[in-house]
Amino acid sequence: MKIAVLPGDGIGTEITAQAVRVLKALNLPMELEEAPVGGAAYDRTGDPLPSATLDLARAADAILFGAVGGWQYDKLPREKRPEQAVLGLRKHLGLFANLRPSIVYPELVNASTLKPEVVSGLDILILRELTGDIYFGQPRGIRVAADGPFKGQREGFDTMRYADGEIRRIMHVGFAAARKRSRRLCSVDKANVLETMQLWKDVAAEVAAEYPDVEYSSMYVDNAAMQLVRNPRQFDVIVTGNMFGDILSDEASMLTGSIGMQPSASLNDSRKGLYEPIHGSAPDIAGKNLANPLATILSAAMMLRYSFDREDAAVRIESAVRKVLVQGLRTADIYESGTTKVGTVEMGDAVLKAL
Ligand code: NAD
């Protein structure tokens, strides 16, 4: 297992350090190599994604990514900003499938803004297509309207497009994931209005026929947005396009209420993946031993599950995380009275001990 470790900026270095300790403690045949990315790489080389870092990422089977960004880089030209490194890695490695699980741990049920009875026991996976859709479709731009009631005025336009094969491959990732979970998959579209989404729905149904052991359904995106806060537990795996997934996955992340707990995976065709917490570099708490490392540790568990097919090792990490929560240990972001507040390193220590 060749793993590229790209800690990045801010709390990125603190949280990946803890995840690396956990990975090493598993005693699996694993090679870990670290490289700078984001602002840290820009400071050293003038490039947020230097070729040496990209080469390492290309050669690896999986990438453990911390977070990038910082106030000192906000005035740089767009192509030099740390965030470009994430977009560059997605593009160069063809990471088209973004998986975001939302799990409400019983010990953290009060962290959600929704009522405990709505979210308790929640365990859903949102799968978002990451490299197509209206975010990338051409043509796009701002032009002068040639006709219609606003003729002669500026008009913005974008193009939503998905090819058959593009939809098919994300659906296969979804059904394969559903087989490892509760075997239910809901495809989310807007086929009642958009041609692209009619194709999405047709292809989803065709792929569903290849997985008779998975219960398949489809839902319009507006209804899905409502159902996610009305009764989120009705879902297991949700598969959707880039734009709808962008919105629904952020909505779902709030069901659990704690940004420091949420891992993610972005996979390509050959199951190479980039694994990272969904949060950013949190410059406000960086270097203070305050960051919650659990999202990154849980991202390492996803790596073992999806890139290395080591469900056993993934479950070991997830059980260890669960155990420290049961023990009442909390970083500041998930602290509530009656629990024990610990720092980043101490949380890492506790997970290692639980392992
Ligand atoms: P953020 O996610 O870094 O922080 C938002 C809030 O959540 C902050 O108050 C922060 O302290 C808190 N927080 C985040 N992670 C935490 C953790 N693990 N433990 C405890 N608290 C945590 O978002 P932001 O402040 O909007 O962005 C900061 C920088 O991160 C920006 O430069 C942004 O562009 C970048 N960013 C990077 C990524 C990425 O690397 N994939 C993602 C989002 C934002």
Q: Is the pLDDT assigned to residue 342 strictly greater than 90?
A: yes
Same domain, 118 and 261: yes
Protein residue closest via CA to atom 38 of ligand 1 = 280
Distance CA(149)–CA(146), nearest Å, equals 10
With beta carbons less than 8 A apart as the criterion, state whether 355 and 316 touch. yes
Q: Is the pLDDT assigned to residue 266 strictly greater than 80?
A: yes
Determine, yes or no, domain membership for 203: yes
Give me the number of domains the chain comprises.
2
Local confidence band at 262 (pLDDT 50, 70, 90 cut-offs):
very high
Local confidence band at 248 (pLDDT 50, 70, 90 cut-offs):
very high
Determine, yes or no, domain membership for 350: yes
Q: What angle do CA 232, 236, 240 make, to 5 degrees?
A: 90
Local confidence band at 113 (pLDDT 50, 70, 90 cut-offs):
confident
Determine, yes or no, domain membership for 83: yes
CATH number of the domain enclosing 82: 3.40.718.10
Tokens read off for 58:
């290309």
Nearest to 138 by CA among 163, 159, 157: 159
Give me the pLDDT at residue 25, please: 97
Same domain, 233 and 106: yes
Give me the pLDDT at residue 11, please: 98
Q: Is the pLDDT assigned to residue 87 strictly greater than 90?
A: no
Q: Read off the DSSP letter of residue 94.
A: T
Lowest mean pLDDT among 98-112, 153-167, 222-236: 98-112
Give me the pLDDT at residue 352, please: 98
Q: What is the mean pLDDT of the chain?
A: 95
Cβ 68 under 6 angstroms from ligand 1 = yes
Distance 347 CA to ligand 1 centre (A): 19
pTM: 0.91
pLDDT digits (tens, 9 = 90+) for 168-210: 999 999 999 999 899 999 999 999 999 999 999 999 999 999 9
Contacts for 283 with CB less than 8 Å, ≥ 6 apart = 9, 10, 69, 70, 71
Percent pLDDT > 70 in the chain is 100
Q: Please identify which of the residues 190, 201, 272, 275 carries the catalytic annotation.
A: 190
Same domain, 116 and 212: yes
Give me the pLDDT at residue 258, please: 81
Give me the pLDDT at residue 166, please: 97
Give me the pLDDT at residue 259, please: 85
Distance 245 CA to ligand 1 centre (A): 20
Local confidence band at 91 (pLDDT 50, 70, 90 cut-offs):
confident
Ligand 1 pocket test: pick from 11, 281, 321 the residue with the most ligand atoms within 8 Å of its Cβ: 281
Q: Is the pLDDT assigned to residue 38 strictly greater than 80?
A: yes
Protein residue closest via CA to atom 16 of ligand 1 = 260
- Nearest atom of ligand 1 to the alpha carbon of 73: 32
Q: Of 249, 265, 281, which marks where a domain is finished?
A: 265
135 is catalytic: yes
- Nearest atom of ligand 1 to the alpha carbon of 283: 28
Give me the pLDDT at residue 271, please: 86
Same domain, 237 and 194: yes
Distance 281 CA to ligand 1 centre (A): 5
Same domain, 6 and 92: yes
- CB-CB neighbours of 295 under 10 Å: 23
Q: Of 265, 288, 310, which marks where a domain is finished?
A: 265
Protein residue closest via CA to atom 5 of ligand 1 = 282
Cβ 281 under 6 angstroms from ligand 1 = yes
**Which of 3-12, 86-95, 247-256 is predicted most confidently?**
3-12
Give me the pLDDT at residue 256, please: 86
Same domain, 344 and 238: no
Give me the pLDDT at residue 180, please: 87
Contacts for 89 with CB less than 8 Å, ≥ 6 apart = 37, 49, 54, 57, 63, 65, 95, 274
Tokens read off for 213:
């052991």
Same domain, 199 and 89: no
Give me the pLDDT at residue 112, please: 86
Distance 238 CA to ligand 1 centre (A): 25
- Nearest atom of ligand 1 to the alpha carbon of 294: 18
| Domain membership of residue 227 as a residue range | 97-134+164-265
222 is catalytic: yes
Q: Read off the DSSP letter of residue 155.
A: E
Give me the pLDDT at residue 286, please: 97
Contacts for 288 with CB less than 8 Å, ≥ 6 apart = none
Percent pLDDT > 90 in the chain is 89
Give me the pLDDT at residue 26, please: 97
Give me the pLDDT at residue 254, please: 85
Local confidence band at 57 (pLDDT 50, 70, 90 cut-offs):
very high
Same domain, 231 and 119: yes
Q: Of 210, 245, 265, which marks where a domain is finished?
A: 265
Contacts for 279 with CB less than 8 Å, ≥ 6 apart = 67, 259, 260, 262, 295
pLDDT digits (tens, 9 = 90+) for 118-129: 999 999 999 999
Same domain, 111 and 192: yes
Same domain, 102 and 250: yes
Average pLDDT of the residues in 9-24: 98
Distance 280 CA to ligand 1 centre (A): 3
Distance CA(91)–CA(330), nearest Å, equals 36
pLDDT digits (tens, 9 = 90+) for 138-178: 999 999 999 999 999 999 999 999 999 999 999 999 999 99
Give me the pLDDT at residue 93, please: 95
Same domain, 130 and 180: yes
Same domain, 118 and 226: yes
Determine, yes or no, domain membership for 144: no
Cβ 30 under 6 angstroms from ligand 1 = no
Ligand 1 pocket test: pick from 13, 279, 297 the residue with the most ligand atoms within 8 Å of its Cβ: 279
